[in-house]
Structure 1
Amino acid sequence: MSDSDREPVARKRRAIILIPGLKREERFVRRDILINNLETVERHPVSRVGEVVVEGEAGLRLSFEPLRSAESQGGHAESASDCLDVFEAYWADMIPEQTELPPWAKLFKGLELVGYWVFSLRTWRAFFSSLVSGSFLIAFGLIMGGLTLVVWYLLLAVLVGQAVAPGGAVPDNLQNVPLMADMIALFGQATGWLASHAWWAVLPFVLTLLQVDAIVLLARFIKDYFENQEDENGVGLRDRLRKRIATTLRAVMAADYDEVVIVAHSFGTVVATDILADWPHRADFKRLTLVSLGSPITVLRYRSSWLEAERKRMLKHEGLDRWVDFFSPSDWLCGEVTGHRGRYGEGMSRRLSFEAPWPQKLSGRTHLLYYRDPRVLECLVAPLSGLEASATAEPA
């Protein structure tokens, strides 16, 4: 049979929309990291073609390269899409930077944060649930996170106490207010006693190693997102973030792609669940695949009643037929999405084991290894038929 007698192979177009996790970075940083690693997949090789713009959303186009076995027969790479466009639903600029507050404001804000996470029955329910389910690393992560917040707050209290009332010295303008003066004097004496211990000088160094600033920022942002804290215009954080992500999703979904894969990492899985559970365009689900990487929903669902409701709604969703959930016991920031395996089957729930030293696991850096795990990457570039076939071949 000559080349002219062969049936033409229809072009297929696939889009990937990456929803990154909770980390303040420049736009396209995570997208480019993902693309750099997609180019290392050997079974389905891809190469960059150039930029592509869809309804104002900028992405990068990858082209599938035929394998030699297929090329020698004059065909295309088996069942592969001819092009793959990668977009990023960017929202990292909505994560606020650390702001300088007056000493007392710092103290009360910190106390509110510690109370929300540490002295909450919901948090302790998540802890005991992790123990019962055998997710000991997640339970360890919750304990370490809580202790870090408490120690951070004590250090903050010492700094405020020594700045406002060093050694119990009451400011002149408050000396004539008996009750207030006594309380400030007691506070200054207590924090001065803590600061006088030699081991206290080591704490800032230890907290730096534990990346306490990142933990505090993450804890504060999640709290504000769950509570839908309003900005100066009176619009809630959750509402603004949903609108930002949904704008990118609508633009790409409206294009003529044969397949659309939403790749959500870390807290991005919470945002994706929040949006897709209420997605009004039902026809989009026919060509949609959701891939979640290192989701914290299994823990955070205890802290937010509306997130738990959205999770249940997603699992009952009749339109979303393909949801692949990657998780790793080496990652104490995530866990298997609760109820996912029962809804989508063993093959769609995929457990990964990262080869990483203990310091990297304890510091949480394994949470970023999904971007270069070969099983994740091959899932993203493999033909959709291959994904569905592997649903019974690769159980967790």
Structure 2
Amino acid sequence: MNMFYCNNNQTHKILDIYEADWIDIFAEEKISTKRLLNKFISGFQLLWYWFDSRIWAVIPEAPSLTLGIIVYSLLLILWYLSILIMVMVIMGENPSFFGFNLASIFPDLPDLLSKFGNALGRLNLWISISIILSFIKIDKVIDLAHIVKLYLGVNQKSLSLKSKVRERIIYLLEDVLKDYENVTVVAHSFGVTIATDILADYYSLKPIKYITLGGQLRVLGYKNQWLQKEIKKLIENDSLLTWINYYSSDDWLGGDSWSKQDFNSKKFTSKPIELKFDRLERLLGKTHLHYLYYPIWAGALM
């Protein structure tokens, strides 16, 4: 429970805050905890998913995200290259790495791949790249990209994981709605996608207010058209009283900059906020996280 003070009349209100955590549901799906062979396979699927995509079409509409998209795409490529180097080195020691004896088909290939992998790994440039990847905690970036891919997917595993997330959040939401007349759902980053997906199909006798911080609905909507439909359904949902979206042009990892005209609804308001950080801090996500500490949106909870 947190207490906030209203500046307009010097009175105070007490807000009960409930956190809906969902990240642990994907704990067993993290690529960073998998064996090298699984990283090799899942990494290729991840590259294919994000690069075989309409997501690049969003750049003209969201120029503030351009550098973030390009840099993190490059990091994804470099991470997978590091996996390839390790695979090549290991194949020299274990030609049956992929489950069959490669040397029986191409006798000299495992040794050649191993030498090539070792040569790449010893390059000063690659050593520097490895240090950079370690500094920015690339495993967390890859895990998050994989989690987003899983949630947005339509295969059986994705639907199962999505169902678990929905069940947990709806359980908490219904529990809160039983005891409170005024309920506001606040979502940040990829949580905006999850909350929008859930609220679009959720109907309540009590009105729900919605606040979004640094979401990526515009970007991910290009990749998955079903998400665009969910956004429209949410706007048309009678249970939704208001939706206030906060974004910043200084946020290189999110920040949907929609206007009322995009939704043609009086329920929706989009408000820019200023989050001043240098370029490195923006790339490292400090701007993106700072929404949570920016006080202006807290006033909308009063």
TM-score, length-scaled by structure 1: 0.67
Name the counterpart of 2:164: 240
Give the deviation of 1:104 after TM superposition. 2.6
Q: Deviations over 1:98-147 (max 9, x none)?
A: 554443332112111111112x132322xxx22x22x3230111111110
Runs of 5+ consecutive residues of structure 1 not aligned to the other structure? 1-31, 45-65, 68-76, 382-396
Distance 1:94 1:164, change over 3 A: same
Q: Deviations over 1:351-371 (max 9, x none)?
A: 011122332112111111112
Give the deviation of 1:195 after TM superposition. 2.0
Name the counterpart of 1:304: 224
Name the counterpart of 2:15: 84
Distance 1:183 1:240, change over 3 A: farther
Name the counterpart of 1:260: 183
Name the counterpart of 1:270: 193
Give the deviation of 1:332 after TM superposition. 1.0
Q: Which amino acid aligns with 1:160?
A: V
Distance in 2 (alpha carbons) for counterparts of 1:361 and 1:154: 25
Runs of 5+ consecutive residues of structure 2 not aligned to the other structure? none
Q: 1:93 aligns with which of 24, 40, 53?
A: 24
Name the counterpart of 1:292: 212
Give the deviation of 1:225 after TM superposition. 1.0
Give the deviation of 1:229 after TM superposition. 5.7
Name the counterpart of 1:187: 113
Q: Which amino acid aligns with 2:49?
A: Y
SS of equivalent to 2:17:
strand
Give the deviation of 1:254 after TM superposition. 2.0
SS of equivalent to 1:348:
strand
Q: Deviations over 1:220-273 (max 9, x none)?
A: 111111125656xx9711111111111101111122x23111111111111111
Distance 1:101 1:85, change over 3 A: closer
Q: Which amino acid aligns with 2:23?
A: A
SS of equivalent to 1:110:
helix
Alignment of 1:2-41 (within 5 A): 35=2, 39=4, 41=5
Name the counterpart of 1:140: 67
Q: Is the 8 A contact 1:341 1:348 kept in 2?
A: no
Give the deviation of 1:189 after TM superposition. 4.1
Give the deviation of 1:338 after TM superposition. 4.5
Q: Relative CO higher for 1 or 2, CA cutoff 8 Å, sep ≥ 6?
A: 1
Q: Deviations over 1:54-110 (max 9, x none)?
A: xxxxxxxxxxxx73xxxxxxxxx3xx7x54221111223223155544433321121
Distance in 1 (alpha carbons) for counterparts of 2:183 and 2:102: 67
Distance in 1 (alpha carbons) for counterparts of 2:193 and 2:186: 12
Q: Deviations over 1:188-219 (max 9, x none)?
A: 34423322422111111111233311110111
Name the counterpart of 1:122: 54
Give the deviation of 1:291 after TM superposition. 0.5
Give the deviation of 1:164 after TM superposition. 2.4
Q: 1:324 aligns with which of 240, 244, 247?
A: 244
1:205 aligns with 2:131: yes
Greater fraction helix: 2
Q: Is the 8 A contact 1:371 1:377 kept in 2?
A: no
Q: 1:158 aligns with which of 79, 82, 85?
A: 85
Distance in 2 (alpha carbons) for counterparts of 1:212 and 1:276: 32
Q: Is the 8 A contact 2:103 2:110 kept in 1?
A: no
Distance in 2 (alpha carbons) for counterparts of 1:270 and 1:175: 44
Q: Is the 8 A contact 1:298 1:336 kept in 2?
A: yes
Q: Is the 8 A contact 2:31 2:142 kept in 1?
A: no
Q: Deviations over 1:289-335 (max 9, x none)?
A: 10011111111111222212211222333442311000111111112
Distance in 2 (alpha carbons) for counterparts of 1:333 and 1:327: 11
Q: Is the 8 A contact 1:165 1:171 kept in 2?
A: no
Distance in 2 (alpha carbons) for counterparts of 1:92 and 1:174: 39
1:313 aligns with 2:253: no
Distance 1:359 1:245, change over 3 A: same
Identify which range, 202-211 or 315-324, moves more after superposition. 315-324
Distance in 1 (alpha carbons) for counterparts of 2:236 and 2:96: 60
Distance 1:95 1:186, change over 3 A: same
Distance 1:320 1:42, change over 3 A: closer
Distance in 2 (alpha carbons) for counterparts of 1:221 and 1:347: 28
Distance in 2 (alpha carbons) for counterparts of 1:99 and 1:229: 22
Distance 1:99 1:155, change over 3 A: closer
Q: 1:109 aligns with which of 20, 31, 42?
A: 42
SS of equivalent to 1:165:
helix
Distance in 2 (alpha carbons) for counterparts of 1:147 and 1:310: 30
